[in-house]
Structure 1
């Protein structure tokens, strides 16, 4: 994880009259899982959406695998090996699980060996393969959203609050799935409010406040320093284990 796959340097984003990102500097090491933490409204989701080209940076530079992607279109970023799981999951409720997966396989028919691996990660998807996605539970929908993102190999997976609103048992299942993904050397950037999940998965961490990254380092350091947690996040992670 010594080299950076994704970097943001001095990134500003305006949405209408609002100046949301105010000089974000972020490094996502290749092959690891970077957690992006911070209070509500700190700019985390805006950072992810700016990386994906859904909102355009008004200043600064975004680099992916040595290439400047600051002005790249979202479709081109997806084709270059970046996948994005938004907070609202982005699945097609009126289509079946299978149809959702087929649409996500951009380069052609789904690889059956990879599909079998996804079934191992998320057995419910095989069980409900021909069900309308809108009939799935919240946890199953999140599994489908992640499965869509990894139906083809990706260099970078960006995930926004995957545990939001889910039961602890489902969160535990997601943790195991992301650990398996990490073992394949997929680089992951994740926004997560569940601090137990963050400490279980994160290799590196960046903490945002008021549209800037105010701390970056190892997740292990933050997880074992209550004073640092309180200073950066206003709470101790120990209270959320």
Structure 2
């Protein structure tokens, strides 16, 4: 199974703090890989290190076999890698339309947007069409999250990094989000998804990597972890069955 993204012995320091302690991670092409772990395990730091927002101090980040750890964030993004941060990163004073247009690097005006792709995004997230001219800051939490993901997908991406998309959302909105991400999976987009909601992890994950104390301590099929409550307890301190 070929990996589109590979981290090899990645260390990251933030100021005086040593956060990642030699992360080894493989993200297979065309699959959705879950990145799980307790709070403070290093999951967000891993995503930010991949994007160059925090520079890896040691080790390699390989994308399609090429090292990218020394590149600036805009150069990494130009390789068709998109990042949806936990804080969503949308512009609240701009409309939904303006947010999407701003994210489309190849379009300078609405007329230059790929209408076929825009219609696909509307099929994934119908609320975006309904609130097309609304300021993004007035959307609900779930709608803001959908806009954040749509911004990352307004142009074709080879790799999508998403940090805790279900955090703070109502259960019904989480189900809608799962449905949309399942449709995204069907397009063979490669996704690395950080998540704390284990119902989401079980529903979406092909592969899983579990982090603890700045390292990957387990990697394998998501279905195998979902079926092994003893392993869940050992790695995560809880059971997926409690999150059905």
Q: TM-score range by the shorter chain?
A: over 0.9
Give SS of 1:95's match. Answer: coil
Question: 1:33-182 to 2 correspondence within 5 Å?
Answer: 33-108=32-107, 109-182=112-185
Instruction: Pick the aligned partner of 1:202 from 199, 202, 205.
Output: 205
Q: Which moved more, 1:55-64 or 1:108-117?
A: 108-117
* Structure 1 residue ranges without an equivalent (≥5): none
* Aligned equivalent of 1:21: 20
Distance 1:115 1:52 in 2: 25
**Aligned residue-pair number:** 240
Q: Deviation per CA, 1:156-185, whole angstroms, max 9, x where unpaired?
A: 000000000000111001101111111000
Give SS of 2:162's match. Answer: strand
- How far is the alpha carbon of 1:216 from its aligned partner? 0.3
Distance 2:174 2:212 in 1: 26
Give SS of 1:58's match. Answer: strand
Normalised by the size of structure 2, how large is the TM-score?
Answer: 0.98
Distance 2:71 2:31 in 1: 24
Normalised by the size of structure 1, how large is the TM-score?
Answer: 0.99
Any runs of at least 4 consecutive aligned residues in structure 1 with deviations exceeding 3 A, and if so which? none
* Aligned equivalent of 1:233: 236
Is 1:222–2:225 an aligned residue pair? yes
Q: Deviation per CA, 1:24-58, whole angstroms, max 9, x where unpaired?
A: 00000000000000000000000000000000000
- How far is the alpha carbon of 1:72 from its aligned partner? 1.1
- How far is the alpha carbon of 1:77 from its aligned partner? 1.1
Give SS of 2:56's match. Answer: coil
Distance 1:163 1:110 in 2: 28
Give SS of 1:11's match. Answer: strand
* Structure 2 residue ranges without an equivalent (≥5): none
Distance 1:107 1:71 in 2: 25
- Calculate the aligned-residue CA RMSD, in Å: 0.5
Give SS of 2:91's match. Answer: coil
Q: Deviation per CA, 1:85-125, whole angstroms, max 9, x where unpaired?
A: 00000000000000000000001221001000100000000
